Amino acid sequence: MPLVKATQTDSHGSFDFGILASGHYTLTVDDENWRSSDWFDVEVTRLPSETASVTVDISPNFPNCEGGHEFVVK
């Protein structure tokens, strides 16, 4: 599977891939400090209105195993 884009989070955990073409992707999350990683299947689609942000909640893995995997679109 070819790497499409890579980025790092800022001090608030925010990141930006910029514009992505519609399609299926695998989002890989790595954290050297926690010595852990996980991946998520993601489908990018065109919406009737522009998306301001997407929150990716990976709390079951980082840092305390509470919550659930969730994508929140704004």
**pLDDT in the model for residue 24:** 92
**pLDDT in the model for residue 41:** 85
Question: Residue 65 sits in which domain range?
Answer: 23-73
Assess if residue 61 is contained within a domain: yes
Total count of domains within the chain: 1
Assess if residue 49 is contained within a domain: yes
Write out pLDDT tens, residues 20-70: 889 999 988 887 776 777 788 888 888 888 777 777 766 655 555 555 555
Instruction: Indicate whether this model's pTM tops 0.85.
Output: no
Strand locations in the chain (E): 23-31, 36-44, 54-57, 70-73
